[in-house]
Structure 1
Amino acid sequence: MKTISFETEEPVLASRKRVTPDEKASVREQKKHLKRDRIKAAAKELFSRQEYEKATVREIASQAGVALGTISLYARDKRDLILLAYNDDVTDMIARGAKACRSDEPFEDNLIGFFQVFYEAYVANLQLARTYLQVNFFSYGINSKALAQNRQRKLDVVAKIVRWGQRRREVRADIKADIIAMQLLLLHSSAVRTWVLEEHPSIVDGLIEMRKLIALQTQGLNPQSN
């Protein structure tokens, strides 16, 4: 009888792909971004339903599913957490407000069109807006750079509106547009902080008041008034 022999195949081990240092760094960055997003979402949710004094960093950490000490990697303190929660929203407001402005529109109409976006967004989440406007006078934390960048973006948009007004001879041309823009932003900052503290802030009433204040300012800027 002929014996049939079978060859035994050696098991082939699947080769493992070696992860490069760059890929490891990319994974770490992705995890950081995801953790930051969770903290940001938790802070935004908490500050949207609680007053600033009542909200705690510990509660935000718990809701985000991170250790309390981890918060310090993304925000210096509770004030800084407000900026983390709201800076991106403000960036979006500025972009949308800028799109509402046109070089062929009257000076005051352009300003109101720009500021209207902020009034609408603040009313949409009044508690968060009140807290943000309460604490963003200054910042020295991790998210202060984004706050400063937003202030510069707002200044740039309003300065552009001023330059359009100067070309249309609605605004004095012997004063730098940046200086006039700064004055207008300070005016708006004061007006909106007063408005947002009303029990039921009205967008229409807020914009009417803002237009009156702008008109009062521009009477001194209009070259025909001299």
Structure 2
Amino acid sequence: MKGTVADKQPRLGLRERNKLDKITRIRDAALELFESKGFDAATTREIAEVADVGIGTVFMYADDKRDLLFLVFNDVLDKVVDEAFARVDGRKALSSQVAAVFGHFYEAFHQRAKLARILLRELVFFSEGKQAERFLTNRNRILTGLERLVAQAADKGKIRASEAPAEVAKAFFFLYSGEVRLWLSAPTPDLEQGVKRLQQTFSLLGRGLGESAR
């Protein structure tokens, strides 16, 4: 009988399992309190109490409440980045490919719109904290993935741009950063309309790049 995937994965030792359990409880407690009380009203001490850990344990994994917010989202973003670039249809125009990538982020944020607004608010100049490195790694993964899509589109003659792929990738990313904030600013963000608007904005950039769907 063939072994399962779980059988083939290395088993965690007791110390690693305890660490994972604590991180999971802290993350779940932070999510629960951020959603029930609001980010500003929730305290790290309350999060520690709900997670049934000491306040010192919380600070082992996050520097402050802001860092805890990113702890909550980092697992989500890890998965979203993986899925977004794994499902790109290279036959489509570049602007449509990039819109599809960021559509995954819109879907994730739509599920927790209230927290997503706070995440984007707290994101400004976020470079310090135990969760910062992981978050910034995901941002770099996004930019690298976009750069790859741009380079592939250029190689296939889908765009005619003299700018380096990295610069075009940044342009798409910055447009997304503005559009997602505008979308989330609505009392009840409409997912379909948000993604449609994003596609329209990306199409403007695509036309400037001499985009072709061939």
User: What TM-score results when the alignment is normalised by the length of structure 2?
Assistant: 0.86
- The answer to whether the aligner puts 1:58 opposite 2:45 as a matched pair is yes
Aligned to 1:29: 16
CA distance in 2 between counterparts of 1:43 and 1:82 reads 7
Larger relative contact order (CA 8 Å, sep ≥ 6): 2
Gaps of 5+ in 1: 1-24
* Aligned partner (choices 95, 105, 116) of residue 108 of structure 1: 95
The question of whether the paired residues in 1 share the 8 Å contact of 2:89 and 2:97 is answered with yes
CA distance in 1 between counterparts of 2:90 and 2:167 reads 19
CA distance in 2 between counterparts of 1:152 and 1:36 reads 24
129-138 or 42-51, larger mean C-alpha shift: 42-51
Aligned to 1:9: none
Structure 1 segments of 4 or more deviating over 6 A? none
* Aligned partner (choices 121, 126, 144) of residue 134 of structure 1: 121
Gaps of 5+ in 2: 1-11
For the residue of structure 2 that corresponds to 1:149, the secondary structure is helix
CA distance in 1 between counterparts of 2:162 and 2:62 reads 43
CA distance in 2 between counterparts of 1:215 and 1:173 reads 15
How far does residue 98 in structure 1 lie from its aligned partner after superposition?
Answer: 1.0
Aligned to 1:143: 131
Count of residues in Structure 1 that have an aligned counterpart in Structure 2: 200
Aligned to 1:205: 193
Map 1:151-190 onto structure 2 (within 5 A).
151-190=139-178
Instruction: Show CA shifts across 1:59-111 (max 9, x none).
Output: 11111001112211110001100111111101111111112202222212211
For the residue of structure 2 that corresponds to 1:219, the secondary structure is helix
For the residue of structure 1 that corresponds to 2:205, the secondary structure is helix
The question of whether the paired residues in 2 share the 8 Å contact of 1:75 and 1:141 is answered with yes
Map 1:88-103 onto structure 2 (within 5 A).
88-103=75-90
Letter in 1 for 2:201: L
- The answer to whether the aligner puts 1:86 opposite 2:56 as a matched pair is no
Instruction: Show CA shifts across 1:156-199 (max 9, x none).
Output: 22112212221232323422111111111111011101111211
Instruction: Show CA shifts across 1:122-145 (max 9, x none).
Output: 111112212212212213000111
CA distance in 1 between counterparts of 2:93 and 2:37 reads 40
The question of whether the paired residues in 1 share the 8 Å contact of 2:33 and 2:39 is answered with no
Identity of paired residues, percent?
31
User: What TM-score results when the alignment is normalised by the length of structure 1?
Assistant: 0.82
For the residue of structure 1 that corresponds to 2:160, the secondary structure is coil
CA distance in 1 between counterparts of 2:127 and 2:76 reads 17
Q: CA RMSD in A?
A: 1.9
Mark the structure with the bigger radius of gyration. 1
CA distance in 2 between counterparts of 1:135 and 1:84 reads 13
